[in-house]
Amino acid sequence: MPEISVHTLADLTAGARAALLQRAESDLGPFLAKVGPIIEAVRTEGDEALARFGRDFDKAAVRADAIAATEADFDAAFAAVDPVMIGVLERAIDNVRRFHEAQMPEEMWFKEMSPGIFAGERSTPIPSVACYVPRGKGAFPSVVMMTAVPAVVAGVPRPIIITPPGPDGGVDAATLVAARLAGVEAVYKAGGAQGIAAVAYGTATVPKCVKVVGPGSPWVVAAKRLLADKIDPGPPAGPSEAIVVADDTANGRVAALDLLNEAEHGPDSSAYLVTCSRRVAEEAAAAIPRYWAAMGAERVGFSQAVLCGPRGGIVVTETMDEAIAFVNDYAPEHLQVHAKAPFDYLGALKNAGEILLGEHTPIAIGNFMLGPNAVLPTNTAALTRSPLGVHDYLKLTSIGHVTKAGYARLAPDAYKFARYEGFDAHANAVSELRDEAFGD
Asked if residue 116 has pLDDT above 90, the reply is yes
The predicted model scores a pTM of: 0.91
Integer CA distances (angstroms), 164 to 26, 170, 199, 241, 291, in order: 24, 9, 13, 22, 30
Architecture of domain 6-23+239-371: 3-Layer(aba) Sandwich (3.40)
Asked if residue 72 has pLDDT above 70, the reply is yes
Percent of the chain exceeding pLDDT 90 equals 92
In tens, the pLDDT along 387-424 reads 999 999 999 999 999 999 999 999 999 999 999 999 99
The pLDDT, as a whole number, for residue 151 is 98
The pLDDT, as a whole number, for residue 266 is 87
In tens, the pLDDT along 188-218 reads 999 999 999 999 999 999 999 999 999 888 8
First to last CA, the chain: 88
The rounded mean pLDDT for the chain is: 95
CA distance 226 to 207: 19
Amino acid letter for position 365: I
Asked if residue 440 has pLDDT above 90, the reply is no
In tens, the pLDDT along 239-251 reads 889 999 999 999 9
Residue 253 Cα to chain centre, angstroms: 29
Asked if residue 146 has pLDDT above 80, the reply is yes
Amino acid letter for position 298: E
Asked if residue 25 has pLDDT above 80, the reply is no
Q: Which helix (H) or strand (E) holds 300?
A: helix 297-307
In tens, the pLDDT along 170-194 reads 999 999 999 999 999 999 999 999 9
Tell me whether residue 25 is one of the annotated catalytic residues.
no
The pLDDT, as a whole number, for residue 236 is 82
The pLDDT, as a whole number, for residue 239 is 83
Structure letter (DSSP) for residue 28? -
CA distance 340 to 63: 55
The pLDDT, as a whole number, for residue 101 is 98
Contact status, residue 158 vs residue 131, Cβ threshold 8 Å: no
Catalytic residue among 333, 338, 354, 359: 333
- Burial (CB < 10 A; 0-12, 13-18, 19+), residue 439, is exposed
In tens, the pLDDT along 305-320 reads 999 999 999 999 999 9
Catalytic residue among 100, 265, 334, 338: 334
Banded model confidence at residue 26, pLDDT cuts 50, 70, 90:
low
Query: What number is the average pLDDT over the span 157-179?
Result: 95
Amino acid letter for position 17: R
Could you tell me which of 320, 336, 338, 369 has the C-alpha nearest to residue 250? 338
The pLDDT, as a whole number, for residue 395 is 97
Contact status, residue 342 vs residue 53, Cβ threshold 8 Å: no
Tell me whether residue 334 is one of the annotated catalytic residues.
yes
Q: Which helix (H) or strand (E) holds 255?
A: helix 252-263
CATH topology of domain 29-226: Rossmann fold (3.40.50)
